[in-house]
Amino acid sequence: MSLCVNLAGVELKNPVMTASGTFGSGAEYSEFVDLSRLGAVVTKGVANVPWEGNPTPRIAETASGMLNAIGLQNPGVEVFCKRDLPMLAQQDTRVIVNVCGRTTEDYLEVVERLADEAVDLLEINISCPNVKAGGIAFGQDPKGVEQITARIKEKARQPIIMKLSPNVTDITEIAKAAEAGGADVLSLINTLTGMQIDVEKQCFALANRTGGLSGPAIKPIAVRMVYQTAQAVKIPIIGMGGISSWEDAVEFLLAGATAVSVGTANFYDPGATIKILEGIAAYQERHGFASIAEMVGKVTCR
């Protein structure tokens, strides 16, 4: 039996990867997780220049999840290339760099800078709900999604993954627009926009007022959106949103995802990715699937 999966011609040793923003650039978790066992490490968002992010407080715990409004704080692509990429290059795993920006030109600058680096795929974040300008404007408009995807595809030397927002009326319209623009892979879902109020202090829990809701609370929504998207496009999908167990991961595969990303679970269990990988492997053997591909989209009506 094989755990390998293929994303736009890039073979991963297994379908389990990390969700951007929850795993740093890998070094932060390397004491707890053997990175070489992962299908891929997806880095925190990288911009063309350093971003300070949002003011604090910017994380709040919620029932079955968390809200974050980090604001894509990052040191910029030059520091990333000098500090983080050399470490990742030493790991026996695929490297996926998440790219963020406020304008099309911002994205293109990072994409061009990474063209000759040891990066396997680029994940383009057009869907962060707690950045006041930039990606979110692209991610909610089909025409904008198609246009920015096409512009990035013209410049990128690596396959591109377009990361989609769930904060839209019809996820399939956004997915089809990204595919029409030339996306090689889709990843979904990003966080849902939420809010929490401290009733004793009578103030917002987050300085940004709103933030991205993640964790188990959003998983049923994410599974539904992955299923709908798999019916609407022909390119591979990376499913994410509330995955905290192997059962969750298998749900996404059965719904139509080729691979999965583990996010919030990393915060309370640094070894979550490996446990999920081992669970998928055991499930695959128990059900007699020769490959992960045989699982993808296997769900049927009763």
Q: For the chain, how long is the longest CA-to-CA vector?
A: 56
Measuring CA to CA, which residue among 84, 191, 214, 181 is closest to residue 131? 191
**What are the angstrom distances between the C-alpha of 79 and each of 30, 74, 85, 127, 272?**
20, 9, 9, 24, 29
Q: Is the dihedral of CA 27, 31, 33, 38 positive or negative?
A: positive
Angstrom distance (rounded) from CA 39 to CA 13 = 5
Cβ atoms of residues 140 and 190 within 8 Å:
no
Angstrom distance (rounded) from CA 211 to CA 219 = 17
Between β-strands 65-68 and 210-214, what pairing exists: parallel, antiparallel or unpaired?
antiparallel
81, 128, 203, 301: the catalytic one is 128
Angstrom distance (rounded) from CA 13 to CA 225 = 26
Q: Does the annotation count 128 as an active-site position? A: yes
For residue 265 the two structure tokens come to 């679970």
| Cβ within 8 Å of residue 103, ≥6 positions away | 134
- Give catalytic residues, as residue numbers: 128
